[in-house]
Amino acid sequence: MATVQVYTASKIFTGIEWLNEHAILCSDDTIEAVIPIKDISSDIRIQDCGNTILAPAFIDIQIYGAGGRLFSVYPDQESLYKLNDYCNAGGASLCLATAATNSDEVFYKCIDAIKEYWKSNGKGIYGLHIEGPWINPVKRGAHLEKYIQKPILNQVKELLEYGKGVIKMITLAPEMCDDSIIDLICTYGIVISAGHSNATDAQAKNGFKQGVTAVTHLYNAMSPLQHRAPGLVGAVMDDEQAMASIIPDGHHCDYAAVRIAKKVMNERLFVITDAVTETNQGPYQHTLVGDKYEAAGVLSGSALSMFQAFLNLINHCSIEIDEALRMCSLYPAQVLGIQHKMGKIEKGFDANIISIDINQKAVSLLK
């Protein structure tokens, strides 16, 4: 028999609107209804979350590791459990474990680890985001040039076949990939994001036409917007459909740049943490410097949680709380194509709900 749980709080944000004096009815892992409190039968036990906001849980589609275990260095279940715990603590119920430009062997091991994690009923890891290796060395950032490849159709197909159902997203430089490569990736239902790219405006727009639907960490490691050369930044801002992730930590881009991008892109801009973890093992060794990570003196990842990213949007980027919530939940769900079950509190959606205290000091997952 299904277990019915009923939650109330000071406010509920459904992903679309604010509700007062309402309750969320959940049956096991599904939202059954959102109804006025007065309509709830008196014999049903209500869990009152007090002076909090109930909202859709966050989704982080680019995070590399947690708890001292970078996933590409330790591609195993322990790393994924630590990653999920870190995400949950920051209000994210779902994430894409991410591996940066690396050897094929590492990517295959990451795929195996996620398969095993799912078999053991591990939660919260939606799949794998491969960032690279088909990127432009000119815009490699902290990625190691020795692993950057020009994609070969048969090699790409072999990886996609092995990772079928596991690989959910690939970041690549569209100018480094023939249209046939992008076409092939699209047939596997994988989200293609342009990043670590020196694409011209025309090359970027051709990528969007071929099936690139997103851009990875806007401004960082890509051709900038210039008045005679719009580059990838200008191309995605000028597009009507392509979305872009951004890292609101004040290091990867100035908060003013976040505000500008938001004004231009509106609902097409969403948040990632790009978070790494301290490690002195493997080819990517990250050192915590203040509130960011560096590798050999180069900015290599953030120390963000999704909750801190959400707070930064409000406190430093002048973004209203409802829109900041959508940038951390509904919009990432749209990128992944799961907006029919994540990113809203609505009948039939997954019961992934967070509670944020009314003063925005803490967050916790209800389920």
Predicted confidence at residue 1, as pLDDT, reads 54
166 and 217 share one domain: yes
What pLDDT is stored for residue 240 in this prediction? 96
Is 85 noted as a catalytic residue in this protein?
A: no
Q: Is 187 exposed, middle or buried (0-12, 13-18, 19+ CB in 10 A)?
A: exposed
Could you tell me the end-to-end alpha-carbon distance of the chain, in angstroms, rounded to an integer? 18
pLDDT in tens, 134-177: 999 999 988 999 999 999 999 999 999 999 999 999 999 999 99
The C-alpha atoms of residue 121 and residue 111 are separated, in whole angstroms, by: 16
Closest residue by Cα to residue 350 from 335, 365, 328: 365
The model's pLDDT over 14-38, given as tens digits with 9 standing for 90+, comes to 999 999 999 999 998 999 999 999 9
Mean pLDDT of 321-346: 98
CB–CB of 70/102 below 8 Å?
Answer: no
pLDDT band at 44 (very low <50, low <70, confident <90, very high): confident
Q: For the domain that residue 255 is a member of, what is the CATH number?
A: 3.20.20.140
> What is the domain-level CATH number for residue 13?
2.30.40.10
**Domain span at 226:** 58-336
| Dihedrals phi, psi of 20, to nearest 5 degrees | -115, 155
Same domain, 44 and 10: yes
- Report if residue 158 sits inside a domain: yes
Record the tokens describing residue 225, joined without a space: 């917007």
Residue 250 pLDDT grade (very low, low, confident, very high; cuts 50, 70, 90)? very high
What average pLDDT is seen over the chain? 96
How much of the chain exceeds pLDDT 90, in percent?
Answer: 93
- Give residue 235's pLDDT: 98
pLDDT above 70 covers a percentage of the chain that reads 99
pLDDT number for residue 2: 67
The total number of structural domains that make up the chain:
2
Q: Quick one: 283 and 357 in the same domain? A: no
Is the pLDDT confidence value at 74 over 90? yes
Q: 177 lies in a domain?
A: yes
Measured distance CA(165)–CA(111) in Å, rounded: 10
Do 50 and 70 sit in the same domain of this protein?
no
Same domain, 258 and 180: yes
Model pLDDT, residue 291: 94
pLDDT on residue 288? 95
User: Is 191 within a domain?
Assistant: yes
Has residue 359 been placed in a domain? Answer: yes
Same domain, 10 and 28: yes
On whether both 166 and 44 belong to a single domain, the answer is no
Catalytic residue, candidates 85, 274, 322, 357: 274
In this prediction, residue 211 carries a pLDDT of 97
Cα(168)–Cα(170) distance, integer angstroms: 7
CA angle 99, 239, 133 (to 5 degrees): 20
Per-residue pLDDT at 42: 81
Buried b (16+ CB within 10 A) or exposed e, 290-317: eebbbbeeebbbbbbbbbbbbbbbeebb
Give yes or no: residues 224 and 352 share one domain. no
Same domain, 146 and 284: yes
Q: Is 293 part of any domain? A: yes
Q: What is the pLDDT of residue 367?
A: 65
Q: What is the pTM of this model?
A: 0.97
Which token pair is 222? Answer: 């890509």
Q: Assess if residue 123 is contained within a domain.
A: yes
User: Which two three-digit tokens encode residue 321?
Assistant: 């709380």
Whether residue 34 is found in the same domain as residue 132 = no
Per the domain annotation, does 341 fall within a domain?
no
Residue 158 and residue 77 in one domain:
yes
For residue range 103-137, list pLDDT tens digits in order: 999 999 999 999 999 999 999 999 999 999 999 99
What the block records as the tokens of 153 is 């159709």
CA-based nearest residue to 147, from 195, 93, 96, 107: 107
User: pLDDT by residue (tens digit) across 190-239?
Assistant: 999 999 999 999 999 999 999 999 999 999 999 999 999 999 999 999 99
Of 317, 239, 318, 308, nearest to 63 by C-alpha is 308
Same domain? 91 vs 196: yes
